[in-house]
Structure 1
Amino acid sequence: MSVVGLDIGSISAKIAVARNRGVDVIANEVSNRATPSLVGFGPKSRYLGETAKTQEISNLKNTVTSLTRLAGRPFNDPDIQIEQEFISAPLVNINGQVGAEVSYLGQKTQFTATQLMAMFLTRVKQTASAELRLPVSDIVMGCPAWYTDAQRRSMIDAADIAGLKLLRLINDSTAVALGYGITKLDLPAPEEKPRRVAFVDIGNSNYTCSIVEFVKGQLSVKSTAWDRHFGGRNLDKALVDHFAKEFKEKFKIDITTNPKAKVRVAAACEKMKKVLSANANAPINIESLMNDVDVKGFLKREEFEELIKPLLDRVTIPLERALADAKLKIEDIDGVEMVGGCTRVPSIKNAVQQFFKKQLSFTLNQDEACARGAAFSCAILSPAFRVRDFSVHDIVNYPIEFTWEKSPDIPDEDTSLTVFNKGNLMPSTKILTFYRKQPFDLEARYAKPETLPGKTSPWIGRFSVKGVKPDAKDDFMICKLKARVNLHGVLNIEQGYYVEEQEVEEPIPEKEGDKKDGDAMDTEAPKTRKVKKQVRKGDLPLSAGTASLDSSSKEAAAEKEQEMIMNDKLVHDTEDKKNELESFIYELRNKIDEQYAEFASDEEKEKIRKKCDESEDWLYDEGEDVTKAVYISKIEELRAIGGPVIQRYLDKLEEERQARVKKDEEAAAARKATEDAKRKAEEDKRKAEEDAKKPEDTEMKDADVPEVEETD
């Protein structure tokens, strides 16, 4: 069984797997540990991951990035207009949700953000399966802590469409904390003061700070704060804007009018940013940027820091908010762990260090910490692995309330209730009680819409409770609803049932001293009392309307995804057969005058050359875009002509091999005979030496016996 953790960033993703008694971040098909989180579309197939990156500049209008920034967002959200600055493909409105319009298979096609995410997850699944050499099913994915219910449901739907079983959708900062804590053997005991660590995660587009308490075998998230528009891409944009202005003045070119030029400058600025993190200055050089103009520039680190000063002024805001929400002071923090690629920028590190007034820690892998933590979470949830006991207590980041219509039978009834407050444990369950005589509906929504990202709708879902009716006495039915924020951070009403109040007798507990001393046996019946208890009587049917895809839409999307997977495979196989035909033509033409020369007559050679030329002409003319079957038939035609010659060559090689084998066997037999003879001679010699060392016979012979004469 596979155990996979996935960290999907706005520009790249890392895949971690549990194996060999640990967690490894695996490499993709081109040996990169980070896979570009891009989805591209072409006239024949899709481009996913690395292949999308290689054709991004030449196919800008059909390549979509920042997938996690689009998931579950309405099209009219102001944040979508911000994302369009970083996404070259046009974003469109698909039934109120954001999607992208691209040219796929020669036609204009629209895909929702959920479908685009599912496509990338398909690539992740294939990469992990190839590395593990077994089917991948179970997965834990990281997501930004500021994700709403709709965004989380979009990620869950995407995993379902891609054929993955999502065990948990874990907040990125929580995954990082898990990866930190589960390997620590020096955490305090539960009864001792917990270790408090601030995790500062600044990636390409998100900035998150989480305050987490650790004791042995457990972590508890106390608070999480964020800045959704602070990251590496914002630093890059400051550089791009600077050089766009400089190039316009210096070289008289305007890169804002040329998308490809702008992407090339952005890539160069990203490299410059990394160089400036370790050096005092850095150059920029781009050949033939646009209009055949070569550009170059130079920037000092001080100038760079001046360009990003508006961003640097915001560094401490999430830190202050996280401490305030956790009701802690700076001196209460025991350590500060920095993760995310953007934390390598010296000015950002200095700002964080000055705020906390302590040395920063970089013990975790800054790029892979989230993926590793997600893999640990997957191993904990999977029955296939035994992992050290470690519980994770995350929190609800937005307060959730339920609203309902007032019952006509209860005129003074409240119609709303905040059920999950900000900071409540997640997952957690609450029981709601309603007194009703007829079916009723209730809605879940976020209690403070102003805290949500962008202009996200506060609506979470509408739930209908069926089967409600008056009881036998025409009185209210007591309805109980089990509301739960689950492991994914998604709200559902999981169960509905009704109860009846019944009088039951229960024994009254005796107080100390009631029993008289000396009573050997108490013959008096125990005292009881009648109490009213609620007894569960039956279930109430529920129906829900949420931001999740309905089953039919999800099945249709899954079928569409499978269709595109099969098409991609067919295109890949067709390209392989085309390459096989091309290689076979060159191989046969070259070898007919070399290896195969002595095995073919002049007539056969001429026939093969002619067929190779015809096949080559066809391949580069009519054969550029044909079906897989046509390439296979062309290969078979060549094999039909060249096959007898190749077979003679192979037969000759086989004869030579058999001769070598026979010769080797004879040589081995001769060696064995020589060794046997040598061994026998050595044994005979050893035996003779042993016989020579035996003692002489001491028995007296007759001649050796002295004669004795008798005397008178």
Structure 2
Amino acid sequence: MSVVGIDLGTLNSVIAVARNRGVDVIANEVSNRATPSLVGFGPKSRYIGEAAKNQEISNLKNTVSSFVRLAGRSLSDPDVQGEQAFVSASLMDVGGQVGADVTYMGQKEQFTATQITAMFLTRLRATASAELKLPVSDVVLSCPVWYTDSQRRAILDAADIAGLKCLRLLNDNTAVALGYGITKLDLPTADEKPRRVVFVNIGHSNYTATVVEFRKGELTVKSSAWDRHFGGRYIDQALVEHFAKEFKEKYKIDVMENGKARFRLAAGVEKVKKVLSANNMAPLNVESIMNDVDVRGMLKREELEELIKPMLERATAPIEQALADAKLTVADIDAIEMVGGCTRVPSLKTAIQEYFGKPLSFTLNQDEAVARGCAFSCAILSPVFRVRDFSIHDMVNYPIEFTWEKSEDIPDEDTNLTVFQKGGVLPSTKILTFYRKHPFDLEAKYANPEQLPGKTNPWIGRFSVKGVKADPKGDFMICKLKARLNIHGVLNVESGYYVEEIEVEEPIPEPPQEEKNEGDVRLDTFPTAPSTGQPDSEPAAKRHKPSSASEMDVDKDAPKAPQKTRKVKKQQRKGDLPLSAGTASLDEASKQIAAEKESSMIMEDKLVADTENEKNNLESMIYELKDKILDVYAEFASDEEKAKLNAKLESIEEWLYDDGEDASKAQYVSKKEDILSIAGPIIQRYNDKIQGERQAVLEKQQKEMAAKQAELERAKREAEAKAQANAPPAPEEKDTEMTDAETTKPDSVEEAS
């Protein structure tokens, strides 16, 4: 079983796996440690990840990016409308969700952002499986901390469609904090002051600041704040607009009117931005940007900082908000950890460091910290690995309330209640109690819609409670509902049941009195032992025994006071209440249809890849045989065979570049067999000769080895014979008979005496 963590990013995604007593980031098929978050659609198949990046400029209208930010949202969302500036494909409404309108296999198709996310996850799963040589199932995915319930459900649905079991949907900065804390051996204990760390994560499109407290074996998220429109792509956008204006004046071209030209310019300014992170000046060169015009430009770091000045003015706003929510000051913070590619921008680092007045820390890998934290979380949740105990206490970022219809039998009943407060611990469970005589519905929504990203619909779900009725006396049924905000940050009403109040008698606890026992009672009539200043080693009853058995009998037979009891009402569970829920999640039937469609597209992609591979093999075979029949195979083929083979190769080559350009896999295989029917005997003769030569060489080596071994044996025998001839003769043994006197008498009596 595999343990995989995935940082699902807007620009790139990173895969990390737990293995070899640690966590490794694995490379994709072209040995890159980050895979572009892109899905493209072509006339024959899809292009995902690196393949999508390679064809993006020639297939802009059918390449979808930023799908992670689109999943679980509607087309009317203002944020989605703003996202169109960064997505080259056309966005449209698909069944109430935002989706993309693309041309796939020659037909117009519409895919939701959830489906596109599932396609990308399928590619990541295949990458991980190829590296691990194991099937991949369990995974932990990251998401921005500001995601709402519907967005989180969309990512979970995408994982289901892709055949992945998401063990946890983890907030990105919580993942970073886990990767930071689980490796630390010097964290304070429970009775010491916690270590407080601010994690500043500035990536391609998000800026998140999170305050985390660490103690030995646990982390607690105290607050998070964010800016959803702050990151590398907004710097790129400012540079594109700057150079577009410059080129309009200098070269009389408007790159903003041409999608491909704008894309080429965006690719160029991204390189400029990276160069300016380490240098004071950077050139820009884009060949044939449009109308066969080559453009050149130059930018200084000071000019860049002036262009992004409005963004730099907001550089510390999320940090200030996070500290205010955590009720902490800059002086309370022990460290500031920076992650995310955009934290390499010098002006951003300077602004944040000046705010804290202390050095920033870059101990974590800025591009891989989230994926590593996800892999650690997956290892903790998986039964396969044994990991150091480390608890994660995440927090609720948006307050959630329940509303319901007022009961006719309770005219003054409140109809709403905020159940999960902002800042509460995640995961969390609450029990809701209702008094009803009929089935009823309740609705969950976010209590403060103005805090949600954009103008997201605050609705979370509607839950219907069935089987409710009045009891035989006509009284209310007491209904209990279990509402849970789970580890994914998703709300569900998991179960319902009803209870009855019954009267039971329970003893009234006696007021605390001075403790007495039989020994203590009898101590009044017997002298006590003198005080020694040491604790008693025996109970008093053992040290002071009664003088007669009659005294013991009197104590034992004394009447006891009757136990006082009282009647109390207690609730006893009597049965379950059926529940039905309507949420933003896809129903099982829809997920099954999407999964089947995904499987079908995977098979299409595989067929296209196999067909292309067979085509390449056929082309390679033609060129290889054309060369070898003149050289390597020349002596093994007759003139007639050579002519016949060359004619066959010529005819198939013409077919390959004419009618065979879009042939099927079976046709390419058939053409290869046609060639081998002529070339096969020639190749066999060549192989037979090579095999014969190899056999001859092998036999020669064996004979040489046998001769060498025989020579060694002969030399060994000669050496042994020589050694035996030169050895000195052994001393002769004399047989002597000893008398009895000699056997008993010592050798020298005189010396013995």
TM-score range, shorter chain: over 0.9
Partner of 2:646: 609
Q: How does 1:356-395 map to 2 (within 5 A)?
A: 356-395=356-395
User: Secondary structure at 2:518's aligned position in 1?
Assistant: coil
Structure 2: how far apart are the matches of 1:315 and 1:660? Answer: 75
TM-score, normalized by length of structure 2? 0.91
Query: 1:607-656 CA deviation, whole Å, 9 max, x = no partner?
Result: 11110111101111110001111111111111111111111111112222
Structure 1: how far apart are the matches of 2:576 and 2:173? Answer: 39
Shift in alpha-carbon separation, 1:291–1:678, aligned structure 2, 3 A: same
| Offset at residue 410 of structure 1 (A) | 0.6
User: Secondary structure at 2:360's aligned position in 1?
Assistant: coil
User: Secondary structure at 2:58's aligned position in 1?
Assistant: helix
User: Secondary structure at 1:583's aligned position in 2?
Assistant: helix
Partner of 1:61: 61
What amino acid sits opposite 1:575 in the alignment? E
Q: Size of the alignment, in residue pairs?
A: 698
Structure 1: how far apart are the matches of 2:503 and 2:388? Answer: 47
Partner of 1:593: 630
Q: How does 1:531-550 map to 2 (within 5 A)?
A: 531-550=568-587
Partner of 1:705: none
Q: How does 1:164-175 map to 2 (within 5 A)?
A: 164-175=164-175
Q: Which sits farther off after the overlay, 509-518 or 196-205?
A: 509-518
Partner of 2:547: none
Query: 1:274-322 CA deviation, whole Å, 9 max, x = no partner?
Result: 1111111111111121111111111111111011000001111111110
| Offset at residue 515 of structure 1 (A) | 6.1
Partner of 1:115: 115
What amino acid sits opposite 1:319 in the alignment? I
Query: 1:168-211 CA deviation, whole Å, 9 max, x = no partner?
Result: 00000100000000000110001111000000000000000000
| Offset at residue 684 of structure 1 (A) | 2.1
| Offset at residue 685 of structure 1 (A) | 2.4
Structure 2: how far apart are the matches of 1:478 and 1:201? Answer: 48
Q: Which sits farther off after the overlay, 194-203 or 581-590?
A: 581-590
User: Secondary structure at 1:85's aligned position in 2?
Assistant: helix
Structure 1: how far apart are the matches of 2:358 and 2:278? Answer: 22
Partner of 2:707: 670
User: Secondary structure at 2:86's aligned position in 1?
Assistant: coil
What amino acid sits opposite 1:146 in the alignment? W
Query: 1:197-242 CA deviation, whole Å, 9 max, x = no partner?
Result: 0000000000000000000000000000000000000011111110
Query: 1:567-592 CA deviation, whole Å, 9 max, x = no partner?
Result: 00000000011011111111122111
Partner of 1:440: 440
In the alignment, structure 1 residue 277 sits paired with structure 2 residue 277 = yes
Query: 1:63-101 CA deviation, whole Å, 9 max, x = no partner?
Result: 011121111111001111211101100111112211001
Query: 1:337-373 CA deviation, whole Å, 9 max, x = no partner?
Result: 0000111111101111111111100000001000000
Structure 2: how far apart are the matches of 1:530 and 1:674? Answer: 109
Shift in alpha-carbon separation, 1:612–1:505, aligned structure 2, 3 A: same
Q: How does 1:227-306 map to 2 (within 5 A)?
A: 227-306=227-306
1:633 pairs with one of 670, 695, 705: 670
In the alignment, structure 1 residue 323 sits paired with structure 2 residue 323 = yes
Q: Which sits farther off after the overlay, 558-567 or 93-102?
A: 93-102
Structure 1: how far apart are the matches of 2:721 and 2:559? Answer: 104
What amino acid sits opposite 1:407 in the alignment? S
What amino acid sits opposite 1:178 in the alignment? L
Structure 2: how far apart are the matches of 1:143 and 1:403? Answer: 28
User: Secondary structure at 2:570's aligned position in 1?
Assistant: strand
Partner of 1:33: 33
| Offset at residue 698 of structure 1 (A) | 7.9
Shift in alpha-carbon separation, 1:528–1:682, aligned structure 2, 3 A: farther
What amino acid sits opposite 1:316 in the alignment? T
Structure 2: how far apart are the matches of 1:208 and 1:488? Answer: 18
Shift in alpha-carbon separation, 1:610–1:686, aligned structure 2, 3 A: same
| Offset at residue 666 of structure 1 (A) | 1.5
What percentage of residue pairs aligned between the two structures are identical? 69
Partner of 2:334: 334
Q: Which sits farther off after the overlay, 594-603 or 362-371?
A: 594-603
Structure 1: how far apart are the matches of 2:705 and 2:235? Answer: 73
Partner of 1:89: 89
Query: 1:229-283 CA deviation, whole Å, 9 max, x = no partner?
Result: 0000001111111000000011111000111111111111111111111111111
| Offset at residue 695 of structure 1 (A) | 5.1
What amino acid sits opposite 1:670 in the alignment? A
Query: 1:133-189 CA deviation, whole Å, 9 max, x = no partner?
Result: 110000000000000000000000000000000000000010000000000011000
User: Secondary structure at 1:488's aligned position in 2?
Assistant: coil
Structure 1: how far apart are the matches of 2:131 and 2:511? Answer: 68
Partner of 2:599: 562
What amino acid sits opposite 2:457 in the alignment? S
Structure 2: how far apart are the matches of 1:527 and 1:597? Answer: 114
What amino acid sits opposite 2:24 in the alignment? D
Structure 1: how far apart are the matches of 2:730 and 2:517? Answer: 104
Q: Which sits farther off after the overlay, 170-179 or 582-591?
A: 582-591
Partner of 1:706: none
Partner of 1:660: 697
Q: How does 1:466-477 map to 2 (within 5 A)?
A: 466-477=466-477
Structure 1: how far apart are the matches of 2:277 and 2:411? Answer: 66
Structure 2: how far apart are the matches of 1:617 and 1:462? Answer: 65
Partner of 1:704: none
Q: How does 1:153-168 map to 2 (within 5 A)?
A: 153-168=153-168
Structure 2: how far apart are the matches of 1:665 and 1:436? Answer: 96
What amino acid sits opposite 1:563 in the alignment? S
Structure 2: how far apart are the matches of 1:56 and 1:124? Answer: 19
Partner of 1:620: 657
User: Secondary structure at 2:268's aligned position in 1?
Assistant: helix
Partner of 1:572: 609
Structure 2: how far apart are the matches of 1:603 and 1:358? Answer: 85
Structure 1: how far apart are the matches of 2:404 and 2:224? Answer: 30
Query: 1:542-563 CA deviation, whole Å, 9 max, x = no partner?
Result: 0000000011111000000000
Query: 1:458-504 CA deviation, whole Å, 9 max, x = no partner?
Result: 00000000111111222111100000000100000011111111122
Structure 2: how far apart are the matches of 1:258 and 1:572? Answer: 32
Structure 2: how far apart are the matches of 1:169 and 1:669? Answer: 68
Structure 2: how far apart are the matches of 1:482 and 1:607? Answer: 81
What amino acid sits opposite 1:176 in the alignment? V
Question: 5+ unaligned residues in a row in structure 2: which ranges?
Answer: 520-554, 736-753
Structure 1: how far apart are the matches of 2:621 and 2:565? Answer: 95
Partner of 1:8: 8
Partner of 2:194: 194
User: Secondary structure at 2:488's aligned position in 1?
Assistant: coil
Partner of 1:412: 412
Question: 5+ unaligned residues in a row in structure 1: which ranges?
Answer: 701-712
What amino acid sits opposite 1:306 in the alignment? E
Structure 2: how far apart are the matches of 1:173 and 1:504? Answer: 51
What amino acid sits opposite 2:361 in the alignment? S
What amino acid sits opposite 1:658 in the alignment? Q
What amino acid sits opposite 1:186 in the alignment? D
Structure 2: how far apart are the matches of 1:529 and 1:610? Answer: 109
Structure 1: how far apart are the matches of 2:733 and 2:21? Answer: 76
Structure 1: how far apart are the matches of 2:334 and 2:509? Answer: 49
User: Secondary structure at 1:82's aligned position in 2?
Assistant: helix
Q: CA RMSD in A?
A: 1.4
Structure 1: how far apart are the matches of 2:86 and 2:334? Answer: 38
| Offset at residue 527 of structure 1 (A) | 4.5
Query: If you compute each CA radius of gyration, which structure gives the higher value, 1 or 2?
Result: 2
TM-score, normalized by length of structure 1? 0.96
Structure 1: how far apart are the matches of 2:622 and 2:111? Answer: 41
